[in-house]
Amino acid sequence: MQTPVANLIKRGGDTYASVARRTGLQARTVRMIATGETPIDRVSVGTIRQLASALGVSPAQLIEPEAPHPGDPALTRPERLARAVREVMWSETPPTYYPSPVEESDATLARVEPPDFFAGTEPIDADRG
């Protein structure tokens, strides 16, 4: 399982030992958190702060990382579609162009901007649930 801690350690070219030296934690502790053996919700706030400082990120990024973009090819097709629908329906900012989660990249529909795709459709009444 790739955790945010493991991803940050890998991205920074660090090792468990190098992060442990910067935090004052044991390398085994860093490894257990990075591999998910010790879930992040079972780690003390002080340890999370130490790790965040050593990795150059905010503590929030270790607890709740940024969600992948709806067009992220690492997501499965249903996940991409669900994120695209959520972005279009509940986002506070207009959606940006991203590869279609449904169509192939060479399809005409895949290159349509969101405002053009939804042009002429009736607004959905969000209050109806």
The amino acid that residue 14 corresponds to is D
Q: What is the full per-residue pLDDT of the chain (129 aa) written as tens digits? A: 578 888 889 888 999 999 999 999 999 999 999 998 998 889 998 999 999 999 998 888 888 766 655 556 666 777 777 777 777 666 666 555 555 555 555 566 666 676 777 777 776 665 654
Domain count of the fold of the chain? 2
CATH number at residue 44: 1.10.260.40
Element containing residue 35 per DSSP (H, E): helix 27-35
Are 10 and 52 in the same domain? yes
Q: Which domain holds residue 25?
A: 4-63
Are 89 and 57 in the same domain? no
Domain membership flag for residue 23: yes
From CA 26, how far away is CA 65, in angstroms rounded?
Answer: 24
Last-in-domain residue among 63, 87, 110: 63
The HSE-up count of residue 74 (CA atoms within 13 Å, CB side) is 4
